[in-house]
Amino acid sequence: MTDTLRLAAADAPRAAHLLAQGELVAFPTETVYGLGANGLDPEAVAAIFAAKGRPQDNPLILHIPGPDHLARYCAHIPAAAYDLARRFWPGPLTMILARKPVVPDVVTAGLDTVGMRCPDHPVAREILELCQLPIAAPSANTSGKPSPTTAQAVWEDMAGKIAAVVDGGPCAVGVESTIVDLTVAPPRLLRPGGVTLEELGEVLGPVAVDEAVVRLMSTGEKPRAPGMKYRHYAPKAPVTVVRGEPRETAAYICSHLRPGVGVICFEDYVNLFPGCPLRSLGPEGDLSEQARRLFEALRWFDGQADVTAIYAQSPDSGGLGLAVTNRLNKAAGFHIIDL
Three-state DSSP string of 267-294: HHHHHHCCCCCEEECCCCCCHHHHHHHH
Q: Give least dist CB 29 to ligand TXA, A.
A: 5
Residue positions counted in the chain = 339
Q: Give least dist CB 138 to ligand TXA, A.
A: 3
- Cβ 180 vs Cβ 187: under 8 Å: yes
By CB under 6 A, residue 196 contacts ligand TXA: no
Footprint (CB under 6 A) of ligand TXA, residues 238-267: none
Q: Give least dist CB 225 to ligand TXA, A.
A: 4
Footprint (CB under 6 A) of ligand TXA, residues 159-188: 176-177, 179
By CB under 6 A, residue 138 contacts ligand TXA: yes
- Radius of gyration of the chain from its Cα atoms, rounded to whole angstroms: 20
From the list ligand TXA, Mg ion, none, partner contacted by residue 59 (C-beta under 5 to 8 A by kind) = ligand TXA
CA distance 332 to 312: 9
Return the range that interacts with Mg ion (CB under 5 A); candidates 67-75, 132-140, 164-172, 245-253.
132-140
Footprint (CB under 6 A) of ligand TXA, residues 19-78: 29, 31-32, 34, 58-61
Contacts for 54 with CB less than 8 Å, ≥ 6 apart: 48, 138, 143
From the list Mg ion, ligand TXA, none, partner contacted by residue 61 (C-beta under 5 to 8 A by kind) = ligand TXA
- Cβ 328 vs Cβ 146: under 8 Å: no
Return the range that interacts with ligand TXA (CB under 6 A); candidates 64-72, 225-233, 243-251, 281-289.
225-233
Query: Which amino acid makes up residue 332?
Result: A
End-to-end Cα separation, the chain, in angstroms: 49
The strand ranges marked E within 78-215 are 93-99, 113-117, 135-136, 164-167, 178-181, 188-191, 208-209
What distances in angstroms separate CA 212 from CA 177, 225, 233, one per listed residue? 16, 8, 15
CA distance 239 to 312: 7
By CB under 6 A, residue 228 contacts ligand TXA: yes
Return the range that interacts with Mg ion (CB under 5 A); candidates 91-99, 135-143, 284-292, 294-302.
135-143
Q: Give least dist CB 267 to ligand TXA, A.
A: 26
Q: Which is nearer to ligand TXA, 224 or 299 (CB)?
A: 224
CA distance 40 to 33: 20
CA distance 185 to 168: 38
DSSP secondary structure of 12-37: HHHHHHHHHTT--EEE--SSS-EEEE
From the list ligand TXA, Mg ion, none, partner contacted by residue 108 (C-beta under 5 to 8 A by kind) = ligand TXA
By CB under 6 A, residue 226 contacts ligand TXA: yes
CA distance 138 to 128: 15
Query: Which amino acid makes up residue 104?
Result: P
Q: Which is nearer to ligand TXA, 41 or 176 (CB)?
A: 176
With CB under 5 A as the contact rule, the residue among 29, 31, 139, 196 that binds Mg ion is 139
Report the residue closest to Mg ion, judged by CB. Answer: 139
x/- letters, 87..126, toward ligand TXA (CB under 6 A): -------x-x-----------x--x-xxx-x-x-------
Residues that bind Mg ion (CB under 5 A): 138-139
Residues that bind ligand TXA (CB under 6 A): 29, 31-32, 34, 58-61, 94, 96, 108, 111, 113-115, 117, 119, 137-139, 176-177, 179, 190, 224-228
